[in-house]
Amino acid sequence: MAGRQGNKEGPVLVCRNVKVSGRRTSLRMEPYIWDSLKEICEREGLTLNDICTQIDQRRGEANLTASIRVFIVSYFRNAIGSRGFSEDGPSSILRKAMDDAIPPFD
């Protein structure tokens, strides 16, 4: 049950402090989202503060955490392109994403 609580409250959220546009703020997101954001930062040679600031400067009136989640999805969608998709049923990418993001409830 990694990443899930055993009740109806939903996934576990982790709170972290970041500096966004020079100001300190707290963000609450799922561990998998934090891990994905960290991976993007490492790949792009940016700090967490840098990437959150860039997202903040472009988000308009949208919520920052929601904008970060959308950014992560967009980043990895662009990275994968159309490679790996299967015409015959669920692809290995779908199965892996489901297993990683939403482990089976035993």
Name the percent of the chain lying above pLDDT 70.
72
**Residues in Cβ contact with 105 at an 8 Å cutoff, skipping those fewer than 6 apart:** 1, 4
Predicted structure pTM score = 0.74
Q: Within 13 Å of residue 92, how many CA atoms lie on the same side as its CB?
A: 3
pLDDT by residue (tens digit) across 72-105? 998 988 888 766 555 666 667 767 777 776 666 5
Q: How is the chain split into domains, by residue range?
A: 14-78+93-101
